[in-house]
Amino acid sequence: MSPTAPGADTPDARSIVGELDRLAQGFREDISALSTEQEIRLAQARYLGKKGLASELMKTLGRLPPADRPAVGEAANKTRAAIEGAVATRLAALADAALVGDLARTIDVTLPGRGRPLGTLHPLTLVRREIEGIFAALGFEIRTGPWLETEWNNFDALNTPADHPARDMQDTFFVEGDFILRSHTSPVQIRTMLAGPPPVKIIAPGNVFRRDDDATHTPMFPQVEGLSVGASVSFRDLQATLFYFVQRFFGAGTEIRLRPSFFPFTEPSAEVDASCFLCQAKAPARATCRLCKGSGWIEIGGAGMVHPNVFKAVGYDKHDVTGFAFGMGLSRMAMLKYGISDLRLFYENDLRFLQQFPPG
Ligand code: DAH
């Protein structure tokens, strides 16, 4: 509807006031359906903006008789105030509704939280990392080698002749082609020495494979190899290194014992024992100790001085260097450390077993 009576030159004050009232009413109805602040502000501009409906209406003010103007001006102010008030009310209602929505979604903070299950590290991983840390502190670097290995790296270069029982089909997994699954981590010694000149000081953790499968053997098991080669590396250094290791791994006060033994790649060779950390190798506990079975000692690996034939195979001059090597079974170390009696637990993936270990 036009704010002025059709055909009339002079606008009629009463009809303008009525028109203004209707504007305010129309605005309230318009914005009741709007649900965002942006829409409401646009509507506000459509009514009150420079080219808005109210402004258009006010343009007729100048043509009113002066006596009528105050009443129309007052009505215009009321309309403006009504529109602004309606905007404020509608925005407040929207904010309230949003808050109610938020509150309805919000969790009850007094309820106990949902637990997020944390994975744990496998005991073999824990033990490998601990051993790596101990040898790293002595300056050993960590090296790894492939599971598929040549017979030369795994046996020949390690002074293990072709007729040695370890090469028997019973022990070693032969793979099609010229490869075998490595039967120990010792070939990493060969790879490391072939890769560069002395000095060499490495440990090599990794899985090895043998055709064994019973309560105390799994066809795959982890070992850690150690090798230190330099101008004057002695048997004493080997003893000191192993001694340091058992102190940190099994606890202060642990002793070591080396028993003469044989490995093709070391001369002399030794079996390495640590004094039993359960009974402390002391009477009377020792007599009934389930770990050392009364001997006071537990076997932890093999060791020795690098055989001159090994140096020859990798092109090191035995007159320039000496070295020691050692090897131990990681599963054995983990069994000892955590009091685990069955080797197969490591590979059965039973969560009840695995969850007993810390997350790392
Ligand atoms: N390779 C040996 C094995 O698997 C362990 C071993 C013994 C490694 C003596 C060595 C060593 O480096 O010196 O039974």
Domain residue limits, the chain: 13-104, 123-354
Tokens coding 287: 């007599």
271 lines ligand 1 (CB under 6 A): no
Nearest-atom number in ligand 1 for the CA of 223 is 4
Q: Is 273 in the pocket of ligand 1 (CB under 6 A)?
A: no
User: SS3 letters for 280-303?
Assistant: CCCCCHHHHCCCCCCCCEEEEEEE
Which pTM value belongs to this model? Answer: 0.69
- The pLDDT of residue 256: 96
pLDDT at 234: 98
β partners of residue 325 = 227, 304
* Superfamily, domain 123-354: Bira Bifunctional Protein; Domain 2 (3.30.930.10)
Report the alpha-carbon distance of residue 140 to residue 100 in Å, rounded: 63
Q: What is the dihedral of CA 128, 133, 137, 138, to 10 degrees?
A: 0
What pLDDT is stored for residue 254 in this prediction? 93
Site to probe by mutation for ligand 1, drawn from 224, 261, 265 as the one with most ligand atoms within 8 Å of Cβ, is: 265
> Is residue 199 reached through a cis peptide bond, with omega within 30 degrees of 0 on the bond before it?
yes
Give the pLDDT score at 233: 98
Pick out the chain residues at pLDDT < 70. Answer: 1-10, 169, 360
* E-assigned strand segments in the chain: 141-142, 148-150, 179-181, 200-209, 220-230, 256-263, 266-275, 297-306, 322-329
Query: What separation in Å is there between the alpha carbon of 336 and the centre of ligand 1?
Result: 19
Measured CA to CA, the distance from residue 126 to residue 140 in angstroms comes to 18
Evaluate: CB of 325 within 6 angstroms of ligand 1. yes
**Model pLDDT, residue 97:** 87
Residue 304 in contact with ligand 1 by CB distance below 6 A: yes
239 vs 245: CA distance, rounded Å: 10
Residue with the smallest CA separation from ligand 1 atom 12 is: 326
Span from the CA of 183 to the centroid of ligand 1 (angstroms): 10
What is the pLDDT, as a whole number, of residue 203?
Answer: 98
pLDDT at position 32: 87
Q: Position 194: which residue type?
A: L
Is residue 326 in contact with ligand 1, taking CB distance under 6 Å? yes
